[in-house]
Structures are given as structure tokens and as C-alpha cells.
Amino acid sequence: MTSSSNQLQALKQFTTVVADTGDFKQLAQFHPQDATTNPSLILKAVQKPDYAPLLADTVARFRDRALDEVMDRLLVRFGCEILALIPGRVSTEVDARLSFDTQATVARAERIIGLYQAEGVAKERVLIKIASTWEGIQAAAALEQRGIRTNLTLLFSFCQAVACGQARVQLISPFVGRIYDWYKKSAGAAWDEAASAGANDPGVKSVRQIYNHYKKFGIATEVMGASFRNVGQITALAGCDLLTIAPDLLAQLAAAEAPLARALDAQAAQAMDLPPVQYNEAGFRFALNDDAMATEKLAEGIRAFCADAIKLEALMKAA
């Protein structure tokens, strides 16, 4: 157990803390190592007065280009601003409308990396975010072989994580809070918040299973818990490779002084008696289909990111 002056400092002793935001002006106060963005976060940011000029300037400079290219240039512009404030990596998302097209995802990822390199950013500082569909995972495998690092997002199930490990992706983002949301909604009036908190939270349990599997079998893919609803979910995953946390929850951690213990431990996982697991395409699709929560949340997540990408395009057209 560690007793640093606050829980955010304590957490950083076990885990790489990542800021989950498009609002880069908020970043500096929390000193995160890395940062993640997605279309929803960028959409939220460009509607604030502080960031509207970034949208207007990007559209003005590249008005003659295809809308999808202007979108990528806007995402890279945000990424470059974020990279100026953090020592590590930024995650930038491929358009979710390409989630079932392996080749188009690869091409879009390569363009995003090219745009970063044109701004003087080394590709090692960028993670390309891709939805954890079968097609997305295959795209990530191809990109990793070309030296482009990936972050597989919208990950809700063990089978998605296993397939990502097989593909040797750099990093996965299991969505703790959205798993919790599904189980809470599914249980309805029978939901017991206290009994399903902390280590018993269904989202926390999902990440713990993935983490233990990766460490047991020497899978190098980094595990980054994401999409948190409360501080308890975060502290229950202390020791995870990385955790990406929204600014309001970072502030709560910084204000909390309770001691924080390591919850996940690689050495303990290596000693566990766990079965090896692998998936081919048919096995993956069956396992994902067999998990109602993961199937629903993956589809819902892709739909939401697509809807926000379309809203962002509308703002760009109007700019």
C-alpha cells in the first residue's frame, strides 16, 4: 500500500495515467503520460469557444480537400496540440464508419500517421484507435507489422482481448464503465450497487480477467482500462498497465487522500492456473455473438462514434 499525498499520485506509482479528453487546455494540471481522444470528445471540444478557431482554421486551410481528409487533419491538429503538453503518446481514431473494412482502415491509419509525420511528429508518439471488430483487429495486425502502433477500442469481451493479443496490437482499451452500465440496466430494480462495486464491478472483473490472461501467457499488448463511471472502478484497477481517465475523475483522485493499494499484479497472474485461449475468425465471431453485453455495446459504440463523426462533418461544412 502506498500513502502518497493524494490518490492520483499514488496511482501513478502503479499505473501509467492517461487523460481521456479532447480538451487539451485541461491536461497540464494533471500531468498525464499519454492522452486519448475520440470523435465524441473532439466534437464536444470544437463546440467550446476555446477550440472553435481550430475547426475554422483547419476547414479554411483545406476547404478544397475531401471532407474525410479535412476530418483527419482536424483530428491530427488536436493530437499535435495535445502532444505539445504531454511526454508520451496520443491516440487518434480511424473513422468508425470503416469498422468493418480492413483495407480502408489500414489506408486511413496510414494517412493519419503521414499527416502527423508531416507535422514533425514521430509515429512512435501516435496510437491509431480502431474498433475491436474482427476486421479492425486484422487491420491492426497489418499496421503493427508496418511499424504503426494501434489502440483497439470499444473492447467489451474476453474474446476481443484474446484476438487483439494474437494480433500483437500495442494496446487495448477495455471499456469498464460501459460494461457496468449494461449490467446495471439489465438488472433493473434488482441491481445492488454496493454488492457490485470495486472488485465486484462487472467492468472491473472483465479487465482483471484480460490482464491476468495477458500476464500469464506473456502477451506484450498493454491493457488500458477506459470509460470509468466512478473513482472506485479506477482504484480497483490500480496496477493495470494504463488507465485512461476523464478530467473530472482525475480531479476527484487528486482531491482524495485515502491510501491506495495495488489491485492487479503481473507476478501474481503468472502464478495462476489459467487455460490458454486462441480464436480463429469463426470462433471469435461465435464467442462475441454469445456475449449479449459485448455484442450490444460494440454495436452501440460504433453507432455513437459514427453519429458524432457525422455531426462533426456538419460543423465543418458550416464553418
Determine contact, residues 99/135, Cβ cutoff 8 Å: yes
Distances (CA, A) of 166 to 148, 192, 267, 279: 16, 36, 21, 8
Cα–Cα distance measured from residue 122 to residue 232, given in angstroms and rounded to the nearest whole number: 36
Catalytic residue selected from 129, 215, 216, 297? 129
Question: Does the annotation count 129 as an active-site position?
Answer: yes
C-alpha cell at 273: 492456473
Nearest 5°: the CA angle 11, 262, 24 is 20
| Secondary structure class of 189 (helix, strand, coil) | helix
Residue partners of 287: CB distance under 8 A and separation at least 6: 157, 158, 159, 279
What amino acid is encoded at 42 in this protein?
I
Distances (CA, A) of 109 to 70, 115, 136, 156, 270: 14, 10, 11, 23, 34
Cα–Cα distance measured from residue 94 to residue 248, given in angstroms and rounded to the nearest whole number: 26
| Secondary structure class of 180 (helix, strand, coil) | helix
Residue numbers annotated as active site: 129
